Each structure stands twice: as C-alpha cells, then as structure tokens.
Amino acid sequence: MSITLDEVRAEALFAGDLQPSEHPPPERVRRSVTGMLRRYGAAWCAARMAQEFGDHPEWAAARMAWALRVVRDCYAGAARARTRCRPARLRRVAPTEPAGRVERVRCRYPTRRYRHALERRNRWC
C-alpha cells in the first residue's frame, strides 16, 4: 500500500486540535501539521485516526474528508516528493562537450537515506 505525503499530513491535521468551524488559514494549518508530526510522529497520528474511526466512524469520515481537502488546498504549490527513484538518467556535462561525455544524474530522493532518517527520528518513542 502506498501512502502519500498528503495523506500523512491529513492524518496529522485530523489528530490535531484545529476544527473545521475555525476555517484556519493555510499558515496555521501548516504550523499545526508540522507541530503534530514533530511532536508525536506519523505513526501516532495514524493510530489516533484509527481510534477515532473505531469510536465514531461517521464523525471521523467527515473530519478526514475535511482534512484531506484542507491539506490539498494548503499544500497545492508544494513540490511532490517521489517515493521511488527512477532509473538513472544520463545528461551531458556541458553543452560544448562532445556527445560521448555524459554523467549519471543522482536521484534526489534516495530511499536508503530517507529510511535511515525515519529510523533515527522514531528511535526515542
């Protein structure tokens, strides 16, 4: 199962204390999402959301729909992070160089480094 960054942000917003009736501005939503993810982590936010879906499914479905809509609106201009690397691409080193000289372009999102950062961050739960 693939989880997108927007879904993780929506889970953090769901678990946070912002309410739909407040109509929070984008900056406040971003601060709330960042604070929840830094303070508790993505796993805690997902567990909190699952607990609410078990206790109050109708209310939780409406709140999750609101959270997804708000996150997509607030982070619409943000760059989408890839979850998997593409095969290595080749590019010319310089436009004046002969066509035979190329170098490999390194993936911007190496999964090994990302996983290591997650393990380090969740070590002290």
Does the pTM of the predicted model rise above 0.85? no
Domain annotation covers residue 26: yes
Angle formed by the axes of helices 5-15 and 26-39, to 10°? 90
User: Which residues on adjacent β-strands are paired with residue 92?
Assistant: 102
What distance, in Å, lies between the first and last C-alpha atoms of the chain?
A: 24
Q: Are residues 12 and 54 in the same domain?
A: yes
Domain identity same for 52 and 108 = no
My answer on whether 65 and 106 are in the same domain is no
Whether 44 shows a pLDDT value over 90: the answer reads yes
Question: In the chain, how many domains are there?
Answer: 2
Q: How large is the average pLDDT for residues 71-96?
A: 60
Q: Is the pLDDT of residue 31 over 60?
A: yes
CA atoms within a 13 Å half-sphere pointing along the CA-CB vector of 60? 14
Neighbours of 18 (CB within 10 A): 19
The token pair that represents 89 in the structure block? 């691409």
